[in-house]
Amino acid sequence: MKVAVLGASGRAGSAIAKELAARGHEVLAIARHPEKIPSAEGITATVGDASNVERLADQIAGCDAVISALKFDVPPATLLAALKKAGVGRLLVTGGAASLKDDQGRRLIDTDAMPDSWKPIAQAGIDFFYELKEEQDVDWVFFSPAFNFIVGPRTRQFRLGGDQLIRDEAGESRISFADYAIAMADELESHAHSRERFTIAY
């Protein structure tokens, strides 16, 4: 498949781009600073601004899907407008964990586990998700990482879930960027979810 990865210079975006390229997909890696995008066979790095609907639509035209690894500073309406203009029918979003629920049914952002310094970006992710849920034309998924999204090994040993935060036996909720990228690529290929959120952790 030909896939555009937005925010491909970040930790999540670059891991996703590398994983897709390793599987033989044609990756259009878009970022404001393309010099930070990893160099690999199958990855074409280019400068882009996802907030510019016309330009983004031109760039992603001909892609089978778009994966957004942006930090919620571009609203869903803007991304969706670009996809529709370009005729791209699938959007996979690297989401946030703030709206996942704990074992008492509380959103993480409403618990003491969420540091105050994290809450602005966490709330932006929640707002993004709730707005995305209204979309009925583009086939989207919102893929929430574990509470701790970390640099770590590529283990292929992880669990997937829905709206509930996944914890390990020690009570920790963690996933590496590398393993998250594996699961994102799996989702692209399997199309197991449609217009819903899912999550991942060890």
pLDDT in tens, 140-174: 999 999 999 999 999 999 999 999 999 999 999 99
In this prediction, residue 62 has a pLDDT band, given cuts at 50, 70 and 90, of very high
Closest CA to 92 of 200, 182, 4: 4
What is the layout of strands, in order, in the sheet containing 196-201? 43-47, 26-31, 2-6, 65-68, 90-94, 139-144, 196-201, 159-161
Domain with 153, as residue range(s), is: 2-201
Instruction: Enter the pTM of the model.
Output: 0.96
Cα–Cα distances (Å) from 72 to 40, 44, 154, in that order, read 27, 23, 26
The pLDDT assigned to 97 comes to 97
pLDDT category of residue 75 using cuts at 50, 70 and 90: very high
Q: What is the DSSP letter of 202?
A: -
CATH number, residue 172:
3.40.50.720
Confidence of residue 31 (pLDDT cuts 50, 70, 90): very high
Number of domains the chain is built from: 1
- Cβ contact 149:179 at 8 Å: no
